[in-house]
Amino acid sequence: MSASAAIASTGGVRTNEARTAPAVDVADLRVAFGKVQVVDGVDLALERGQALALIGESGSGKSVTLRALLRLFPEGRSRIEGRIHVAGRDVQALTRRQLADFRGRDVSMIFQEPLLAFDPVYTVGRQITEAILRHERVSKEDARRRALALFERVRIPSPERRLDNYPHEMSGGMRQRAMIALALACRPQVLLADEPTTALDATVQIQVLLLLRELQRDLGLTIVLVTHDLGAAVEVADRIAVMYAGKIVETGTARQVVLDPHHPYTIGLLRSRAEGALAKGARLQTIPGSPPDLAARPPGCPFAPRCFLAEHRCHGEMPPAREIAPGHRVACWHADEASVAYRVGPTPVRAAEPASPGPPGRPSEQGV
């Protein structure tokens, strides 16, 4: 396995890496829980100040990939292999103590459901000052002042009073802002966001996304955003990586991936968005089938059983990632056909059907 080689080669070689290296540099990341390989060879590279969105459906391994950047798993129950360099540190090489110092200071995280991510019996302000006091030698008063400034920064109204609120006394949007304030408390370089808008109302979602975008620009933050919402990804991210069954199947700039998708799964995601399909009488397109069982992974491309372009080779051989344009990589044997199929027209899937093995109309188009 190349993972061990990758670890070995990065030991002491790159000493001045902290300054020049990318903020996130992950190579051949593999995460397994017991016998289940949840993340299966992921490569990620992200420059400082950039935002990357990891998108995919539930169980695609995107949240696990995100947590691997902090090694945020129960000890002994997971196996993480591969190279993980974040904010200039080799995360795999950190001791327990170093890891605790690293978390929240260099890299911090915001969560899907802020009501559950705050301890219910402490005030929000106290939980922010706790993080500051954990990482820095400052007085309680200074920590409190910092927390207040953070609340102002994320635009929480009447911040002084809100610091003394308990999590359940805030609205969902305000809680997520408070969560962001907490994450920024120790001025981290990298912010990891695990579906930060999924639990929020649609009107609040956009506010939180805009706030993230603004903070990224103002503070030079590097953001890794996990989401299943393409709209959210486009709003915040410079780059998008599409994950399926623990692998990245397509990655590129946000424009490349959304406007010029080359992987049938990306195309499926784009087509299954409600926005494009809500003309009266139109059917919402879906991707047929469901993701594979990761414990019994078939050989070949994991998407092949659901793909409208799949043929014999797809079922037997995993396609390697191929660069089709600068920075745009796709892992598909039929990337060009898929791209053509997407561009042809409103129902390009039909036009592409001669290439697909299934009977006409069945494999890719299914009413809800």
Partner 1 sequence: MLLYTLKRLLYVTPVAFGVSVVCFLLVHLAPGDPLSAVLPADATQQTIDEMRAAYGFDKPLPVQYLIWLWHVLHGDLGTSIATGRPVAAEVGRAVVNSLILAAVATAIGFTFGTLFGFVAGYHRNSAADRAASALSVFGVSVPHYWLGMVMVIVFSATLGWLPPTGAGPDGSGNWRPDLDHLRYLILPAVTMSVIPTGIIARTVRALVADILSQDFVEALRAKGMDERGVFRHVVRNAAPTALAIMGLQLGYLLGGSILIETVFAWPGTGFLLNAAIFQRDLPLLQGSILVLAMFFVALNLLVDVMQTALDPRIERA
Name the site residues for partner 1 (rule: CB under 8 A).
70, 72, 97, 100-105, 108-109, 111, 113, 116-122, 130-131, 134-135, 166, 168-169, 182-183, 185-186
Write out the two tokens for 191: 């912010």
Q: Which is nearer to partner 1, 23 or 314 (CB)?
A: 23
Q: Which helix (H) or strand (E) holds 184?
A: helix 172-184
- Quickly count: other Cβ atoms within 10 Å of residue 58's Cβ: 9
Q: Which is nearer to partner 1, 27 or 223 (CB)?
A: 223
Q: Are residues 216 and 223 in contact, defined by beta-carbon separation less than 8 angstroms?
A: yes
CB of 107 to partner 1, least distance (A): 9
CB of 346 to partner 1, least distance (A): 42
Map tokens 């070689």 to a residue. 13
CB of 57 to partner 1, least distance (A): 21
CB of 26 to partner 1, least distance (A): 18
CB of 111 to partner 1, least distance (A): 6
CB of 123 to partner 1, least distance (A): 8
Q: Which is nearer to partner 1, 119 or 160 (CB)?
A: 119
Q: Which is nearer to partner 1, 181 or 242 (CB)?
A: 181
Alpha carbon distance 109, 114 (integer Å): 11
Q: Which is nearer to partner 1, 175 or 262 (CB)?
A: 175
How many residues in the chain?
368
- Quickly count: other Cβ atoms within 10 Å of residue 97's Cβ: 8
Task: Return the amino acid letter for 123.
Answer: T
DSSP string, 259-319: HS--SHHHHHHHHT-HHHH-STTPPPP---S-PPPGGGPPSS-TTGGG-SS--HHHHHSPP
Alpha carbon distance 313, 145 (integer Å): 61
State CA 28 to chain mean position distance.
Answer: 16
CB of 223 to partner 1, least distance (A): 15
Q: Which is nearer to partner 1, 33 or 166 (CB)?
A: 166
Query: Residue 119 contacts by C-beta under 8 Å, 6 or more apart in sequence?
Result: 127, 167
Q: Which is nearer to partner 1, 70 or 230 (CB)?
A: 70
